[in-house]
């Protein structure tokens, strides 16, 4: 089974801190995603990556950056945490590329989520 592991379930950080959220997947998936989830807003895509060192902005990239140095690991970085970044962060991965019979993306596998509180 695919496993997507996020480094923390709960995290409390101070305003202005640099925050790293780590995500690791064990199924050699090409695609990896970071979403944030807020009540009434659903899941919003922050960044995604379709290959090592490749990244694309999602719908709400402001205040975030990402790093993908290895295929299995996708890190989300809050350069200077602010209270409006308090949220649930979800990492996901999916099979992409030529091996995917459904086209370039298929079902996504999610981590358990990181609930980040910025105080």
Partner 1 sequence: SQQGEEDPQALSIQEGENATMNCSYKTSINNLQWYRQNSGRGLVHLILIRSNEREKHSGRLRVTLDTSKKSSSLLITASRAADTASYFCATDFGNNRLAFGKGNQVVVIP
- We find the least distance from the C-beta atom of residue 18 to partner 1, in angstroms, to be 25
Give the span between the Cα atoms of 101 and 98, in whole angstroms. 8
CA nearest neighbour of 36 among 5, 63, 14:
63
Residues 39/58, Cβ–Cβ less than 8 Å = no
Give the span between the Cα atoms of 93 and 72, in whole angstroms. 9
Q: Using CB under 8 A, which of 36, 55, 96, 118 touches partner 1? A: 96
Tokens 């970085």 found at = 77
- If the CB atoms of residues 66 and 90 are measured against partner 1, the closer one turns out to be 90
Number of residues that bind partner 1 (CB under 8 A): 31
- We find the least distance from the C-beta atom of residue 118 to partner 1, in angstroms, to be 18
- If the CB atoms of residues 67 and 105 are measured against partner 1, the closer one turns out to be 105
**Length of the chain, in residues:** 119
For residue 16, the SS3 value is coil
- We find the least distance from the C-beta atom of residue 2 to partner 1, in angstroms, to be 10
Per CB under 8 A, which of residues 5..64 are in contact with partner 1?
A: 31, 33, 35, 40-43, 45, 48, 50, 56, 58-59
Contacts of 64 (CB under 8 A, 6+ apart): 34, 46, 47, 76, 77, 78, 79
Q: Rule CB under 8 A: which residues touch partner 1?
A: 4, 31, 33, 35, 40-43, 45, 48, 50, 56, 58-59, 90, 92, 94, 96, 102-113, 115
């Amino acid at each position: 089974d695919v496993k997507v592991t996020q480094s923390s379930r709960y995290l409390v950080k101070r305003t202005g801190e640099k925050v790293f959220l780590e995500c690791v997947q064990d199924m050699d998936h090409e695609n990896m995603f970071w979403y944030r989830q807020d009540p009434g807003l659903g899941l919003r895509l922050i960044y995604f990556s379709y290959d090592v060192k490749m990244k694309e902005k999602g719908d709400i990239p402001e205040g975030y950056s990402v790093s993908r140095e290895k295929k299995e690991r996708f890190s989300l970085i809050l350069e200077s945490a602010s209270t409006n970044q308090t949220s649930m962060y979800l990492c996901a991965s999916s099979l992409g590329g030529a091996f995917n019979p459904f086209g370039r993306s298929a079902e996504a596998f999610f981590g358990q989520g990181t609930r980040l509180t910025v105080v």
